[in-house]
Structure 1
């Protein structure tokens, strides 16, 4: 399997980053929904810690992915796509990257405002992004949750479009990101 992107397919690093991030983001969303309704307990704090650690991992991965994408041109558009379809796909990709970057930042900022550390798997602790400010916690929490819903809905549309291309149009859009 090729390492670098080609005119017709993504390379192995792009594919690994894509699918790893997809699994982590869906998992983070599910855990976020689950932990929101838990009563405060040591178990809830452990889940929050894991959620933060994986969120920061996603932040690091999206930065790696963006650097990789900038150094590797994306494959050419699938034959037969209209300008509108190409523009929509490009806009969706940019929006996904922006959301995947902003969600962990908003979580880190929320922890900072709440006065809680962001420890990454117990290996190191990130510096706070802001001084504690309880008045800002709820505002940032709303942003964090709204951004999470946006990325899930946009990712669902992205997956739906890929499946549409695979099963209805029978082109190579999905295959070029698959192993």
Structure 2
């Protein structure tokens, strides 16, 4: 029985985690900058690039996961904890798709195209919409808050398994 994640799965996990933290932090910083400055516009571009990259990596991660299942939980782990962990992992997967997509849709509703790395314009799926813009802004914000909270719970659970249970759950994801 496989006891650890594959190195590819670890790479996807840690790279997406790093990019999510960077995008979230940049989102907080850029929205606190008053007015429309060149720095703020640059940060918005970087934020979008991070989001698109997370989305692309999420697709690859799910494809990898389809053919490389995660290792089994330790036998000592209670069934309710396994169910909670599975539910949280499912939610995290949903959010690493939903957050970038909601940001993309918010940009479109704002009438601002997303140009990945300044080179590739993503398709404009719908026209700017003054009705959709505030809704999608709120959706993007609250999905981000849900993602931040879920990541916090995920990290707390990993630390609990490492420091309290000492059952090797965290080591499965460490290279």
**TM-score w.r.t. structure 2 length?**
0.97
Match of residue 125, structure 1, among 121, 125, 131: 121
Task: Note the residue ranges of structure 1 that are not aligned, 5 or more in a row.
Answer: 1-5
Q: CA deviation at 1:82?
A: 1.3
Q: Deviation digits for residues 79-123 of structure 1, max 9, x if unmatched?
A: 211111110000000000001100000011011111111011112
Q: Distance in 2 between matches of 1:17 and 1:101?
A: 14
Superimposed CA distance per residue, residues 136-168 of structure 1 (whole angstroms, 9 cap, x where no aligned partner): 111101000100011111011101101100011
Tell me, what secondary structure is at the counterpart of 1:134? coil
* Number of residue equivalences: 174
Asked if the contact 1:110–1:137 (Cα under 8 Å) also holds between the matched residues in 2, the reply is: yes
Q: Which residue of 1 aligns with 2:146?
A: 150
Q: CA deviation at 1:129?
A: 2.6
- Cα separation, 2, equivalents of 1:28 and 1:16: 18
CA distance in 1, matches of 2:37, 2:156: 38
Divergent runs of 4+, >2 A: none
Distance 2:169 2:148 in 1: 20
Other-structure match for 1:163: 159
Structure 1 length as normaliser, TM-score?
A: 0.95
> Which residue in the other structure is 1:28 paired with?
23
Please tell me whether residue 49 in structure 1 is matched to residue 45 in structure 2.
yes
Does residue 70 of structure 2 align to residue 70 of structure 1? no
Aligned Cα root-mean-square deviation (Å): 0.9
